Amino acid sequence: MSPATPGWLLRPETGLCPCGCLGKRRKGSYVEKTIEGGADLLRRVMFTDDVAARDGLLQRVDPRVKVLGLVALIVATACFRHLSALMAMYALASALALASGLSVAFFLRRVWLFVPVFTGIVVLPTTCSFLTPGTIVVPLGTWFGSPVGLTNQGLTSAGLVVFRVATSISLVVLLTITTPWPRLLDALRSLHVPRMFVLVVGMAYRYIFLLLASVTEMYTARKARTVVDSRDVAGGRGFVSASAGALFGKAHATSEEVHQAMVARGYRGNARTLHRMRLGPFDLLFALMAVVVIASLFGADRLVRV
């Protein structure tokens, strides 16, 4: 033993209870779940890369045509005034998902898991006769002698909002899941979205994973040294803020190094890229179909009076 070796380092610490008894079980904390969610995001992105590589209908369309076509469909969706037109557009989005080799369950889950939570809560009060007067279809009782309930007009306008959001999200999901990320960025570049914006978005996407891995590692390192889970809320907050600070420092150092790596290879503020895309007959057909669908649904939406 070296004279500098502390005595306690040579004695074993108390480990598992020798009688084999079990302690209290605790579920993961909010921080743990959030970080696991981040890791899960990485897995999902890898899964979406697989989907984008499949031989489906939307995967065959040139990304520029796809961006323009689907954005036009989203704009049209925002303009529809009737639930039937929105439902028809949603049905079309689902048909496109099927034709592109997406699993129906995945597609529905991706959209309907969040729409009711975020949009539904927002529009729920508008269904009530207090906010949207009209014909009560679901009576809820009386308030100072007046009947109170969900009105036909309120439910219709709530349905319009929910379906509009669901359809728009479905179309965005279709675009992002059937197009590899680099090709989507290429498409934005060729559609004259500012080059610097596309470069920054591309790098942000690239480095999210690096920083995500750092956060996961920091948390895992903490967890590996956590002997007793004592639900230390203040300690948890401290860890989150310290991690955020460390991550900020890391992100800053990385950004400086990335800039140096770019300058070292000749970057002078105007990045040139490799993209080269050509339109084929299939792309033109897709664009034509998008125009026909928008015109038909838009016409039908305007013609229907009720």
What one-letter code names the amino acid at 236? G
**Choices 107-115, 180-188, 235-243, 279-287 (CB under 8 A): range interacting with other proteins:** 180-188
Smallest separation (angstroms) from other proteins to the CB of 43: 11
Q: Does 271 bind other proteins (CB under 8 A)?
A: yes
Q: How far is CA 269 from CA 95, 195, 197, in A?
A: 43, 10, 12
Taking CB atoms within 8 Å and a gap of at least 24, the contacts of 90-98 are 90/163, 90/166, 90/167, 90/170, 92/293, 93/167, 93/170, 93/171, 93/174, 94/170, 96/57, 96/58, 96/174, 97/170, 97/174
Q: Distance between CA 128 and CA 61 in Å, rounded?
A: 44
Q: Which tokens sit at 172?
A: 């965005």
Q: How far is CA 82 from CA 112, 194, 306, in A?
A: 20, 36, 8
Smallest separation (angstroms) from other proteins to the CB of 203: 6
User: Which CB sits closer to other proteins, 78 or 200?
Assistant: 200
Q: Which of 192, 272, 278, 305 binds other proteins (CB under 8 A)?
A: 272
CA atoms within 13 A on the CB side of 149: 14
Q: Which of 257, 279, 284, 296 binds other proteins (CB under 8 A)?
A: 257
**Strand ranges, E, within 117-214:** 136-143, 146-151
Q: Which of 121, 274, 303, 306 binds other proteins (CB under 8 A)?
A: 274
Q: Does 182 bind other proteins (CB under 8 A)?
A: yes
- β-pair partners for 128: 150
Q: How many chain residues interact with other proteins (CB under 8 A)?
A: 31
Q: Does 265 bind other proteins (CB under 8 A)?
A: yes
* Site pattern 16..45 for other proteins (x: CB under 8 A): --------------------------x---
User: Which CB sits closer to other proteins, 109 or 206?
Assistant: 206
Q: How far is CA 95 from CA 108, 153, 281, 293, in A?
A: 12, 30, 21, 13
Closest to 199 measured CA to CA, from 96, 273, 110 = 273
**Choices 60-68, 142-150, 252-260, 278-286 (CB under 8 A): range interacting with other proteins:** 252-260
- β-pair partners for 42: none
Task: List binders of other proteins among 183-212 (CB under 8 A).
Answer: 185, 202-203, 205-207, 209-210
**Choices 147-155, 161-169, 270-278, 291-299 (CB under 8 A): range interacting with other proteins:** 270-278
Matching residue, tokens 């898991």: 113
Q: Which tokens sit at 122?
A: 């927002």
Smallest separation (angstroms) from other proteins to the CB of 254: 6
Do residues 43 and 265 make contact, with C-beta atoms less than 8 angstroms apart?
A: no
Q: Distance between CA 107 and CA 122 in Å, rounded?
A: 23
Smallest separation (angstroms) from other proteins to the CB of 273: 7
Smallest separation (angstroms) from other proteins to the CB of 211: 10
User: Which CB sits closer to other proteins, 116 or 180?
Assistant: 180
Task: List binders of other proteins among 150-169 (CB under 8 A).
Answer: none
Q: Does 247 bind other proteins (CB under 8 A)?
A: no
CA atoms within 13 A on the CB side of 82: 13
User: Which CB sits closer to other proteins, 25 or 268?
Assistant: 268
Residues that bind other proteins (CB under 8 A): 42, 46, 49, 180-182, 185, 202-203, 205-207, 209-210, 254, 257-258, 260-268, 271-274, 276
